[in-house]
A and B are shown apart, each in its own frame.
Chain A
């Protein structure tokens, strides 16, 4: 009877504990990272009595944490991958919208600027048309500055994000190290029984870490976990955590460097080995999109300024001077879009005209005509000298009454840095003059050539124009952003699947807990009944002796 009582009591204790665990599960049904727990029951060792071994009741073998290491590490891996593409995509869609915005992108100001140059070609004497060229040129310069500023701001913002991430990583690493210590102690105290809720807490922290970087873990026999990041750098070893630090260089938009130091040892740069997570996403976006876009924009500014200046220098302004530097040419593509400037502010200094003009003498008797002429080399010191081409006979001519040159109709005649073509049949004594175009205010030859630069294939190795090159950059950013979006969605699926898989094993199902609640409640009641019966039996026995 004593055995019956003790068996009943053991049941009461065991089911009471099982109901406690169900209560704990129900309470934590919505706790992130919680793994449901289950009481493992086992029969107590039997007792050898007269007739053989008699059962001795139930005991709690352990409280099991429903957990699978592989499923959990899959959640971590997909968290890292998803966070990486999510970060990349979020950053990408910001720059993506900026570049193609009909109001904020480069394309509209580029169109307006060249439209103004066309306006100048239509009316080169107009002060208003010249003013429009200057103000549109300033708008174009401002737009280059604005775009570079926005990209720089983004770089700065990303560095702030990095700094926050690194601080968070450090604090998570310290917490994991602290938990390692607690877990080792707790397991020691319990003779090896794991402190399930501490393990969950540590796993949740590792999961949070995985949002920032790729992590790998190694479980130790004493219950602690070692955490590695990058290319095998130990972030946590037992109860010791490493420290990361960020150096953004001289300016806050500069190239950041992440340093790693363990146990107050030397700091070593590990920027290149950081992969996955938000940190990996930021670094990748920076290297693949932001920096190239900034550099490309700078190259565009350099080519535009160089080409425009070169053509402008071949023209003549309203003061009769050769065209001066129109734009300041940036020295370095990186940040070049911020360095382009408008250098001409006086409308008279826009060189719409060509510096030379050609004339046929009124007294010419042949039918030969001379082309308007073009400038090959504006730096020729004799560019403005008056040159008379006089025909000795129909096939030869002299230059300034000297020499004798063979004439070919339509052939190039290159003198003093300019080129003209005479075509037709000249007669002896026919004269053609090339002279300075001083006073040629109505000439638009250079303005036409400047306007033509809009569609000239000067970019990307001579394959496309400014707009086309800008378009390629927009496309490149768009494609990368789209790729990141596709990857992000794929990784989101993977993450959801991994979480579903883990929760299939570890998550709390309230219906299941309700069923178990009923089951253990009944078992508890039955065990209590056993105690009651054993009590009655004892009473029966006592009364039979008393009587």
Chain B
């Protein structure tokens, strides 16, 4: 076989260029740490990475949502602890006011404290979050939910029965609060709302006619609020559980993504070395072969 001189030159140069291109790609992979530099390197793999990225971002979002839900529930729980304290104090005062030995002035004194408690309760029921939203107003968080209507002489609820849900997992939503109607207005085992109960207690003490039935109402209210508090506790537990699930899922996703997209350095370094040796060999051969010519001997 004859080989033309220019062909020999071309072949060695293109061999060197090939080796250089390969070396360059390995170098790029090593500096970026990525096995897939462009989608055409591994089309299914790069699409998987895109999808995993979305899943990771979405799961991070669920974690954020879970945190927000927890913050809201913790605030609600703290507020309910205040409500329980009010009710317990009111119950003590009701028991004391029922004491037959007490005179009207003493009862009026107790009634004064009950009125204070009523104000405190009103304040707690109208609690706002850091953004100024009333936490017990249902959807209508802008309006003050609880008021005393002096004309009709009754306590009114301006909110609604809406309950906001937050997405804390792909298939998991959790309520980040309870509407005020559920907490303060409807008390199972009592025909009155919580404000009415305290108002009735105060009025009966002011009139020096202590009413034993308010004690039963107070107990019903305490049981009710304690139940709601327990429900919040179980919601927070559910959030903790979901967060663990989310964390584990995110870890799985990150491992999978790393398996697909990240570079195996041991492999890359070994092929880098091989490619370097191959390039050096090509360069050496080129120089030596180019020196060979019959004209040198003429």
Q: Chain A interface (Cβ within 8 Å of chain B)?
A: 29-30, 36, 92-93, 96-97, 99-100, 107, 110-111, 114-115, 118, 121-123, 125-126, 353, 357-360, 362, 372, 437, 439-445, 448, 451-452, 454-455, 467-468, 470-472, 474-479, 481-482, 485, 496, 499-500, 503-512, 514-515, 517-518
Determine the distance from Cα of A122 to Cα of B293 in the docked complex, in whole angstroms.
Answer: 81
Binds A, one of B53-61, B220-228, B277-285: B53-61
B151-181 vs A, CB cutoff 8 Å, 1 = contact: the mask equals 0000000001111111100100100000001
Q: Are B294 and A504 in contact (CB under 8 A)?
A: no
B129 CB, nearest partner CB in chain A, Å: 9
Q: Chain B interface (Cβ within 8 Å of chain A)?
A: 1-7, 10-11, 14, 38-44, 46-47, 50-51, 53-54, 57-58, 61, 64-65, 68, 131, 133, 137-143, 160-167, 170, 173, 181, 185-186, 193, 293-295, 298
Could you say which of B5, B11, B51, B68 contacts A500, with CB atoms under 8 Å apart?
A: B11
Could you say which of B6, B44, B181 contacts A362, with CB atoms under 8 Å apart?
A: B181
Q: Are A443 and B139 in contact (CB under 8 A)?
A: yes
Q: Are B133 and A510 in contact (CB under 8 A)?
A: no
Q: A118-B65, A448-B167, A474-B50 are in contact. Are A504 and B161 (CB under 8 A)?
A: no
B61 CB, nearest partner CB in chain A, Å: 5
Q: Offer 24 A-B interface pairs, CB within 8 angstroms, sorted by A.
A: A29-B4, A92-B40, A107-B54, A115-B57, A125-B141, A125-B142, A362-B186, A362-B193, A440-B138, A440-B140, A442-B139, A445-B165, A448-B173, A455-B170, A467-B50, A467-B54, A474-B46, A475-B43, A478-B39, A478-B46, A500-B3, A504-B7, A507-B2, A507-B6
A500 CB, nearest partner CB in chain B, Å: 6
| A112 (CB) vs chain B CBs: closest residue | B57
Pick from A437, A470, A509 the residue with the most CB of B within 10 Å.
A509
Determine the distance from Cα of A499 to Cα of B7 in the docked complex, in whole angstroms.
Answer: 8
Q: Are B6 and A441 in contact (CB under 8 A)?
A: no
Q: Are B6 and A496 in contact (CB under 8 A)?
A: no
Q: Are B133 and A439 in contact (CB under 8 A)?
A: no
B75 CB, nearest partner CB in chain A, Å: 14
Across-interface contacts of B68 in A (CB, < 8 A)? 122-123
Q: Are A511 and B54 in contact (CB under 8 A)?
A: no
Across-interface contacts of A512 in B (CB, < 8 A)? 2
Pick from B61, B131, B141, B170 the residue with the most CB of A within 10 Å.
B61
B242 CB, nearest partner CB in chain A, Å: 15
Q: Are A442 and B138 in contact (CB under 8 A)?
A: yes
Pick from A360, A440, A448 the residue with the most CB of B within 10 Å.
A440
Across-interface contacts of A118 in B (CB, < 8 A)? 61, 64-65, 167
A420 CB, nearest partner CB in chain B, Å: 12
B107 CB, nearest partner CB in chain A, Å: 30
Q: Are B50 and A510 in contact (CB under 8 A)?
A: no
Across-interface contacts of A479 in B (CB, < 8 A)? 40, 43
Q: Are B142 and A122 in contact (CB under 8 A)?
A: no
Q: A442-B140, A507-B4 are in contact. Are A478 and B43 (CB under 8 A)?
A: yes
- Nearest first, the 9 closest Cβ-Cβ pairs linking A and B are A507-B4, A440-B139, A478-B43, A478-B39, A442-B141, A443-B139, A514-B294, A481-B40, A471-B47
Q: Are B47 and A472 in contact (CB under 8 A)?
A: yes
Q: A125-B141, A362-B185, A507-B6 are in contact. Are A97 and B38 (CB under 8 A)?
A: yes
B167 CB, nearest partner CB in chain A, Å: 6
Is chain A's binding surface mostly helix, strand, loop or mixed? helix
Determine the distance from Cα of A445 to Cα of B166 in the docked complex, in whole angstroms.
Answer: 9
A204 CB, nearest partner CB in chain B, Å: 14
Determine the distance from Cα of A445 to Cα of B160 in the docked complex, in whole angstroms.
Answer: 14
Determine the distance from Cα of A482 to Cα of B47 in the docked complex, in whole angstroms.
Answer: 14
Across-interface contacts of A509 in B (CB, < 8 A)? 2-5
| A117 (CB) vs chain B CBs: closest residue | B61
Determine the distance from Cα of A265 to Cα of B130 in the docked complex, in whole angstroms.
Answer: 82
Determine the distance from Cα of A476 to Cα of B44 in the docked complex, in whole angstroms.
Answer: 9
Q: Are A439 and B47 in contact (CB under 8 A)?
A: no
Q: Are B38 and A100 in contact (CB under 8 A)?
A: yes
Could you say which of B65, B133, B170 contacts A442, with CB atoms under 8 Å apart?
A: B133
B56 CB, nearest partner CB in chain A, Å: 9
Across-interface contacts of B131 in A (CB, < 8 A)? 123, 125-126
A348 CB, nearest partner CB in chain B, Å: 12
Q: Are A439 and B163 in contact (CB under 8 A)?
A: no
Q: Are A515 and B294 in contact (CB under 8 A)?
A: yes
Across-interface contacts of A30 in B (CB, < 8 A)? 5-6
Determine the distance from Cα of A507 to Cα of B143 in the docked complex, in whole angstroms.
Answer: 93
Q: Are A439 and B139 in contact (CB under 8 A)?
A: yes
A216 CB, nearest partner CB in chain B, Å: 26
Q: Are A96 and B162 in contact (CB under 8 A)?
A: no
Across-interface contacts of A455 in B (CB, < 8 A)? 58, 170
Q: Are B38 and A454 in contact (CB under 8 A)?
A: no
Across-interface contacts of A478 in B (CB, < 8 A)? 38-40, 42-43, 46-47
| B57 (CB) vs chain A CBs: closest residue | A111
Determine the distance from Cα of A510 to Cα of B5 in the docked complex, in whole angstroms.
Answer: 6
Across-interface contacts of B39 in A (CB, < 8 A)? 96-97, 99-100, 474-475, 477-478, 481
Q: Are A441 and B50 in contact (CB under 8 A)?
A: no
Q: Are A29 and B54 in contact (CB under 8 A)?
A: no
| A316 (CB) vs chain B CBs: closest residue | B139
Q: Are A439 and B298 in contact (CB under 8 A)?
A: no
Across-interface contacts of B193 in A (CB, < 8 A)? 362
Determine the distance from Cα of A100 to Cα of B51 in the docked complex, in whole angstroms.
Answer: 12
Across-interface contacts of A471 in B (CB, < 8 A)? 47, 50-51
B58 CB, nearest partner CB in chain A, Å: 7
Determine the distance from Cα of A455 to Cα of B61 in the docked complex, in whole angstroms.
Answer: 13
B18 CB, nearest partner CB in chain A, Å: 10
| B292 (CB) vs chain A CBs: closest residue | A511
| A477 (CB) vs chain B CBs: closest residue | B39
A415 CB, nearest partner CB in chain B, Å: 18
Across-interface contacts of B53 in A (CB, < 8 A)? 107, 111
A300 CB, nearest partner CB in chain B, Å: 14
| B135 (CB) vs chain A CBs: closest residue | A442
Q: Are A475 and B162 in contact (CB under 8 A)?
A: no
Across-interface contacts of A485 in B (CB, < 8 A)? 40
Determine the distance from Cα of A504 to Cα of B2 in the docked complex, in whole angstroms.
Answer: 5
Determine the distance from Cα of A454 to Cα of B160 in the docked complex, in whole angstroms.
Answer: 30
Determine the distance from Cα of A360 to Cα of B185 in the docked complex, in whole angstroms.
Answer: 12
Q: Are A508 and B5 in contact (CB under 8 A)?
A: yes
Q: A96-B38, A475-B39, A504-B1 are in contact. Are A439 and B142 (CB under 8 A)?
A: yes
A449 CB, nearest partner CB in chain B, Å: 10
Across-interface contacts of A353 in B (CB, < 8 A)? 139
Determine the distance from Cα of A487 to Cα of B53 in the docked complex, in whole angstroms.
Answer: 31
Across-interface contacts of B161 in A (CB, < 8 A)? 357-360
Q: Are B5 and A475 in contact (CB under 8 A)?
A: no
Q: Are B185 and A122 in contact (CB under 8 A)?
A: no
B63 CB, nearest partner CB in chain A, Å: 11
Determine the distance from Cα of A478 to Cα of B45 in the docked complex, in whole angstroms.
Answer: 10
B46 CB, nearest partner CB in chain A, Å: 6
| A107 (CB) vs chain B CBs: closest residue | B50
Could you say which of A92, A442, A508, A514 contacts B6, with CB atoms under 8 Å apart?
A: A508
Across-interface contacts of B166 in A (CB, < 8 A)? 121-122, 444
B227 CB, nearest partner CB in chain A, Å: 14
Q: Are B142 and A441 in contact (CB under 8 A)?
A: yes
| B295 (CB) vs chain A CBs: closest residue | A514
